[in-house]
Amino acid sequence: MSSLRRAKPAAAQSTDAGPDTPPSLTPAELAAQRRKRRTGTLIATPGALYLLIFFVVPLGLITVYSFATRTSTGRTSLSGWNLNSYERIADDVILGIIARSAWLAFLTTVLCLLVAYPFAYYLATRPARLRARLLVLVMIPFWTNGLVRIFAIRFLLGSNGPASALSEAMGFGTFRILFTPTAVVLGMVYGFLTFMVLPLYVALERMDWRLVEAARDLYASGAKAFWRVTVPLTRSGIVAGCVLVFVPSFGSYVVPEILGGAKTLLIGSYVARQFQAARNWPLGAALSVLVIVAMLVAVAINQRNSANAERTQGVTR
């Protein structure tokens, strides 16, 4: 990763927000820069230290576990290091589980984006005071207990529930969405929609609308102005929203089990099973490490891409 970075210094620099060191500086400027560096360290330290102790060190522990062995009672024996858990992941069954989970997470993300973008657009174009209230209105449902909420959705989708009754009354006959993949996607869209709305809203709200007006003045149609100006300008929001939805949908297991009927195993359930019922911590740890590595790679690629995009388009700054 770092060698790639070095190969494209311009890309790397434009993402780093801090000032780069120009070739020559006056002593005063140098001193100011040292001071700034000290301030940065000072501000970052408490949070960084916290993450180091309560996240990085535990992550290191679990990474060590991924190379360990499960005893017959399901304890993790920290001797006899091996790669067995990683080899297991190449198993067709596990790859199938990963592929299915990714597909459902992808569907969820696309649906969320399609619904949330116009929604966020609508919110962002309201008068400021109304905006704040509408935003709170979006958050309120999530101050109820998540599980109880899922059970309410479950009731709605049940074969004797109102959704089915409505369809029967309208002459479509009874149906059951509950315990199907459709119910899983619906439940996940419900659960993660706000994660898409919030970043999109933030991006749209602070967007410079004059650029859209300028495009319209140059005789671009509404659609053209939208695709050529609005969407690129809100790219960071779209990416953030997609990540915030895709990641938890991929690992989600409560929704799939309660609404989906657990008939097809998803990766979230599978990992949870390794840490609980199966007590195969090394395998659970290996799968988790893999998820993290995949995410790090994705973040790195995204950073490079957005750096390139910013350089070529030059509109976002």
Stretch 213-272 residues interacting with other proteins (CB under 8 A): 221-222, 236-237, 240, 244, 247, 251, 254, 257-258, 260-265, 268, 270-272
In the complex, minimum distance from the CB of residue 2 to other proteins, in angstroms, rounded to a whole number = 9
| Stretch binding other proteins (CB under 8 A), from 23-31, 102-110, 140-148, 167-175 | 140-148
160 binds other proteins (CB under 8 A): yes
x/- site string to other proteins, residues 58 to 77, per CB under 8 A? xx-xx-xx----xxxxxxxx
Using the minimum distance from each CB to other proteins, give the nearer residue, 33 or 308: 33
In the complex, minimum distance from the CB of residue 312 to other proteins, in angstroms, rounded to a whole number = 18
The residue within the footprint of other proteins, chosen from 30, 78, 231, 297 (CB under 8 A), is 78
| Stretch binding other proteins (CB under 8 A), from 22-30, 102-110, 166-174, 293-301 | 293-301
24 binds other proteins (CB under 8 A): no
40 binds other proteins (CB under 8 A): yes
107 binds other proteins (CB under 8 A): no
**What distance lies between CA 158 and its chain's CA centroid?**
29
55 binds other proteins (CB under 8 A): yes
Question: In sequence order, what DSSP letters do the residues of 204-269 get, joined into one string?
Answer: HHTS-HHHHHHHHHTT--HHHHIIIIIHHHTHHHHHHHHHHHHHHHHH--HHHHHHHTT-S--HHH
34 binds other proteins (CB under 8 A): no
**What distance lies between CA 279 and its chain's CA centroid?**
28
Question: In sequence order, what DSSP letters do the residues of the chain get, joined into one string?
Answer: -HHHHHH-HHHHHHH--SPP--S---HHHHHHHHHHHHHHHHHHHHHHHHHIIIIIHHHHHHHHHTTSEE-TTS-EE-SS--SHHHHHHTSHHHHHHHHHHHHHHHHHHHHHHHHHHHHHHHHHTS-HHHHHHHHHHHHGGGGS-HHHHHHHHHHHHSTTSHHHHHHHHTTS-----TTSHHHHHHHHHHHHHHHHHHHHHHHHHTS-HHHHHHHHHTT--HHHHIIIIIHHHTHHHHHHHHHHHHHHHHH--HHHHHHHTT-S--HHHHHHHHHTTS--HHHHHHHHHHHHHHHHHHHHHHHHHHHHHHHHH----
9 binds other proteins (CB under 8 A): no
| Stretch binding other proteins (CB under 8 A), from 49-57, 102-110, 167-175, 307-315 | 49-57
The residue within the footprint of other proteins, chosen from 279, 304, 308, 315 (CB under 8 A), is 279
In the complex, minimum distance from the CB of residue 114 to other proteins, in angstroms, rounded to a whole number = 10
The residue within the footprint of other proteins, chosen from 115, 211, 309, 315 (CB under 8 A), is 115
Please, what's the largest Cα pairwise distance for the chain? 82
Using the minimum distance from each CB to other proteins, give the nearer residue, 94 or 308: 94
Which tokens belong to 59?
């992550």
The residue within the footprint of other proteins, chosen from 137, 165, 297, 301 (CB under 8 A), is 137
139 binds other proteins (CB under 8 A): yes
Which 171-210 positions form the footprint of other proteins (CB under 8 A)? 178-179, 190, 193, 198-199, 202-203, 206
151 binds other proteins (CB under 8 A): yes
